[in-house]
């Protein structure tokens, strides 16, 4: 089961339709079992019962999640596949001691793969949609996997399947979410 974490400013907000629902649709289409929880409502049982986790993005100015870093401490001990999307990458990096730096972008950008990884296997450059005001500084224990001309676009933990993506794969790169599902072993046979 994949734990899908909604980082929007409040549970069942209108932003959920834009940032969480597309991820739900991709998971459903792939046959991957999942449960959605708002970041403020994630329980120890949710974490213990999850085989993987996806932290969804939020609207551009929706940064309330960043005021509650304690809600994401579970990530450092999770040791199962994690995919942080946009704001989810920011929450993930913060949990591992990373900070942010300015990098404002809205729209399509070319993303270059910097290091080999199964998530991007067979791809060197691809167009991706981003909406963000900052990127993350790569935390200790992570590597930069991909970048645009402006900033780091993807990171990965050096020894665990923990990924952060600055862009939104649910918009134009569903294949990345499908590959994450396969890598996490969460798809139905």
CATH value at residue 27: 3.40.50.880
In a domain, 85, yes or no: yes
Residue 97: inside a domain, yes or no?
yes
Cβ count near 144 (within 10 Å): 15
The yes-or-no verdict on residue 173 having pLDDT over 70 is yes
Is 115 inside any structural domain?
yes
**Residue 54 in tokens:** 């996806």
Domain count, the chain: 1
Q: CB–CB of 162/184 below 8 Å?
A: no
- pLDDT by residue (tens digit) across 15-66? 888 899 999 999 999 999 999 999 999 999 999 999 999 999 998 778 889 8
The 10 Å Cβ neighbour count of residue 171 is 17
Judge whether 180 lies within some domain: yes
Its domain, for residue 26, covers 2-184
Tell me the Cα Rg of the chain: 15
Count the Cβ atoms, other than its own, within 10 Å of residue 70: 8
Determine phi and psi for 143, rounding to 5 degrees: -125, 150
Evaluate whether residue 73 is within a structural domain. yes
Asked if residue 121 belongs to a domain, the reply is yes
Confidence of residue 179 (pLDDT cuts 50, 70, 90): very high
- Which of 36, 42, 40 minimizes the C-alpha distance to 17? 36
Specify if 169 maps to a domain: yes
pTM attached to this predicted model:
0.95
């Amino acid at each position: 089961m994949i734990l899908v974490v909604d980082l929007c400013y409040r549970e069942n907000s209108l932003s959920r339709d834009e940032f969480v629902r597309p991820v739900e649709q991709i998971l459903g289409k792939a046959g991957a079992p999942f449960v959605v929880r708002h970041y403020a409502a994630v329980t120890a049982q949710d974490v213990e019962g999850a085989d993987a986790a996806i932290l969804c993005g939020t609207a551009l100015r929706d940064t309330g999640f960043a005021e509650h870093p304690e809600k994401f401490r579970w990530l450092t001990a999770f040791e199962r596949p994690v995919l942080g999307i946009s704001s989810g990458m920011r929450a993930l990096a913060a949990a591992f001691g990373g900070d942010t730096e300015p990098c404002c972008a809205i729209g399509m950008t070319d993303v270059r793969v910097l290091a080999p990884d199964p998530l991007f296997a067979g791809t060197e450059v691809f167009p991706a949609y981003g909406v963000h005001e900052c990127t993350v500084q790569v935390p200790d224990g992570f590597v930069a996997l991909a970048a645009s001309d402006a900033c780091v676009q993807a990171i990965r933990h050096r020894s665990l399947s923990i990924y952060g993506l600055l862009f939104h794969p649910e918009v134009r790169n569903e294949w990345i979410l499908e590959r994450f599902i396969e890598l996490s072993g969460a798809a139905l046979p």
